[in-house]
Amino acid sequence: MSATKTFLLELHCEEIPARFLGSLAQDFQSAFQNWCHQHHVGYLQEGEVQPEPECFYSPRKLAWRYRGLMAIQSDQTETQVGPPQRMCVDESGKPTIQGEKFAEKWGVPFSAVRFEQPAGKKEPCAVVTVTKAGRPTVELLQEALPGLIKGLHVPKAMRWGHSEFEFVRPIRNILCLFGEQVVPITVDGVTATNTTWGHRLHHRQHPEAVKVATPEAYEAALETAGVVVSVDVRRARIAQQLDHLAAEAGGRVVADAELLDTLAEIVEFPKIVRGDFPAAFLELPKEVLVTSLREHQKSFCIEKPDGTDLLPFFLTAANRMDDPAGFVKAGNEWVLKARLYDARFFFAEDRKLPLAGRTEKLKALTFQRELGSYFDKTERVAQLVETLAGRLSQDAAHRARAVQAARLAKCDLRTLMVGEFPELQGIMGGEYLKREGAHEEVWKAVKEHYQPAGADDAIPGTPMGCLLSLCDKLDTVAGCFSVGLIPSGSKDPLALRRAGQGIVRILWERGWALTPADLAAAALGAVGAKATKPAAETTEALLAFFKDRVGYQLELAGYAGSVRRSALAAGWADLADLRARCEALSAFAEDARFASLAQSAKRIGNILKDETADGGFDEGLLAQAEEKVLAQQLAKVEAVADQKALLAALADLAAPLEAFFNAVMVKCEDAALRAARLSLLHRLRQAFLRVADFSLWQ
């Protein structure tokens, strides 16, 4: 039993890129915990609850704190194997010289030596159990920490000065304490002490280093030196200030969780500053302002409380406590004005030429080497839209507008604004078309056609937007597959799975009667001679791909595993039908009769595996009561059209089926009877498969 202490390590570096902070903190944490485990450096006394390890980070700091670490490593017992027994004792049973030497080597009397046959040895050998006293944890830490630090995985490592040491950014100070004691490790020439540095501004006013007397005093010591070292605390303080300042300005913050995280990661002391920009810039589309402020200035926009328009204010984070001379506000306003001036220049320049005037320029923009330019892609998508719109709409004018939207969809790739902000693709096209007086359906379809951008993003709000989005993604997926660019394992550089998921989601949510097989055929037709792989091979790969996407869609929709597997196996060509079956199955998921049905379905599958049963079925041949009952029930099931009623009828089959299998021998001697029974089972299976493959229920 030994006392416990708290361990603290801080690496003070030049500014570490925000995107690496979290993963570096985690990386060390798992490496350290592994090391503790391997080296029997325990936590606390037995039975006590282990406190959570803590990690801290800020632009210049990575730190970890572990409470309740034993001051002395646990004793370790090890078994040592020596020479064979015959060499250690003579015939009279006395120890030989060799035997005594073995005992001496491990510091035990010969009487403590046992003779056992260890695994892998052919005869009994001398064996001793040695207890190694635990060493002081501080010594172990000193030996291990430099290696653990060097072993951290740094995604973009650098060297500096003369050193060959590589890390994320130069390490300039190390604070390392075990209780009050300094663990004097040295990494790349920097030796640990019990001091660190605070905020740059604090440091310039107070040249002395900040002393951290105990690990527990860490956050408080740094806060007085101008650093809030916990990212969670910084994030919470920023969120609170954002809300407060936005409300003060009469609006609310345009939420952006990623930007909030970024701000919390790039400052050591968070101060949110509100600035103004000239109201004239509000003529720019909201998306342009939000994107420009976010990308260029890491700033939040403020919108009216109803979420419509923006107000001419922005909120940004300063890395200091205050803005005593108003320089931070003025500086950010100045820069923002320059940025918005640029955005307005792009917006004005772009509108000098109608969007459609960029169609030809798409020829110089490569979509993919084999598949040609964005001009070629546009042609294919327009063709697809024309084909599919024909199946979805009777309105010729509407169909013509859909094709028009397809022809305009990619034109904004050649605008200055999208050149500056690629994430505004689609949005700008829509905004420019709106201002050109295009039909609302057209500009909205262009604006929305990149949606859904991910699992969290909605599908386009308009039917035409959905059709355009679907055709664009379909062309991308089918086109890439047709030239052999097929995602495999974790490799999906063109994000085809995301595009495929978008297609499936649109079909799913819209309930359109378009099957993936139809879509694949239409898209490959449009790709035509550009394909480098045989069409049959591509179709097969595409269908397998879509089946996976549909399966994942079922998962996203929240259906249970049994529902998903059995429904999917009974067919997925018609997504509306699949959805109805999943809904119906989910309603019955708790019904105990389904477990019995699943058993019977498996038995039917096994029996029919090696048989060729056909529909030819002479009910008159059935002999036993149980099979006659079953046949009657089946006839009822076959007459039901509605999915829910069908499932209820199927559930009613559970008991007769059980009775049937208990009483009837299917593969009987009488060939005609046997054929009749097999046909009965075949028909049963067909009835099941209208809803689900119940053999996959569990």
Partner 1 sequence: MHIQELILRLQRFWADRGCLVGQPYDLEKGAGTMNPLTFFGALGAKPWNVAYVEPSRRPADGRYGENPFRVYKHLQFQVILKPSPAKVQDMYIESLEALGIDLSKHDLRFEEDNWESPSLGAWGVGWQVVLDGMEISQFTYFQQVGGLDCRPVSAELTYGIERICMFLGGYDNMFDLVYGEVKTDDGIFPVTYGQMRQREEFELSAYSFDHADLDLHRTLFEAFEKEGWRLLKDHGHFLSAYEQALKMSHTFNVLDARGAVSTTERPGIIKRVRDMACACAKAYLEHEEGSSTACADGTDSKSKLQGGAK
Residues that bind partner 1 (CB under 8 A): 14-15, 17-19, 59, 156, 158-162, 169-170, 172, 200-201, 204-205, 266-267, 297, 316, 318-320, 323-325, 327-328, 330-332, 334-338, 341-342, 345, 364-366, 369
Which residue lies nearer to partner 1 by CB, 15 or 386? 15
Report the nearest approach of partner 1 to the CB of residue 17 (Å): 4
* Helix 671-689 with 625-639: angle, nearest 10 deg: 30
Contacts 24+ apart (CB under 8 A), 647-651: 647/584, 647/585, 647/587, 647/588, 647/691, 648/588, 650/597, 650/687, 650/688, 650/691, 651/588, 651/591, 651/593, 651/594, 651/597
Report the nearest approach of partner 1 to the CB of residue 408 (Å): 21
Helical (H) or strand (E) element with 273: strand 270-276
CB 696 within 8 A of CB 565: yes
Report the nearest approach of partner 1 to the CB of residue 188 (Å): 11
**Strand-pair partners of 66:** 7
CB 83 within 8 A of CB 105: no
Which residue lies nearer to partner 1 by CB, 18 or 692? 18
Which residue lies nearer to partner 1 by CB, 48 or 360? 360
> How far apart (Å, rounded) are the C-alpha atoms in residues 442 and 398?
10
Report the nearest approach of partner 1 to the CB of residue 182 (Å): 21
Report the nearest approach of partner 1 to the CB of residue 532 (Å): 18
Secondary structure of 413-434 in HEC code, one letter for each residue: HHCHHHHHCHHHCCHHHHHHHH
Report the nearest approach of partner 1 to the CB of residue 11 (Å): 15
Which residue lies nearer to partner 1 by CB, 181 or 224? 224
Which residue lies nearer to partner 1 by CB, 342 or 386? 342
CB 511 within 8 A of CB 578: no
Evaluated on CA atoms 549, 553, 559, 560, the torsion sign reads positive
Report the nearest approach of partner 1 to the CB of residue 199 (Å): 11
Which residue lies nearer to partner 1 by CB, 16 or 604? 16
Residues 6+ apart with CB under 8 A from 281: 289, 312, 340, 343, 344
Q: Torsions phi, psi of 51, nearest 5?
A: -70, 150
**Strand-pair partners of 158:** 167
Nearest alpha carbon to residue 5 among 64, 87, 68, 99:
68
CB 333 within 8 A of CB 273: no
Which residue lies nearer to partner 1 by CB, 156 or 609? 156
Report the nearest approach of partner 1 to the CB of residue 413 (Å): 11
Nearest alpha carbon to residue 433 among 358, 383, 375:
358
Report the nearest approach of partner 1 to the CB of residue 268 (Å): 10
- Amino acid in the structure at residue 654: A
Which residue lies nearer to partner 1 by CB, 323 or 492? 323
Which residue lies nearer to partner 1 by CB, 54 or 265? 265
Report the nearest approach of partner 1 to the CB of residue 262 (Å): 10
How many residues appear in the chain?
A: 698
CB 521 within 8 A of CB 539: yes
The CA distances from residue 628 to 314, 613, 656, 661, in Å, are 78, 18, 10, 13
Which residue lies nearer to partner 1 by CB, 346 or 432? 346
Which residue lies nearer to partner 1 by CB, 147 or 326? 326
> How far apart (Å, rounded) are the C-alpha atoms in residues 385 and 403?
6
Report the nearest approach of partner 1 to the CB of residue 204 (Å): 7
Which residue lies nearer to partner 1 by CB, 61 or 579? 61
Report the nearest approach of partner 1 to the CB of residue 332 (Å): 4
Nearest alpha carbon to residue 174 among 190, 150, 152:
190
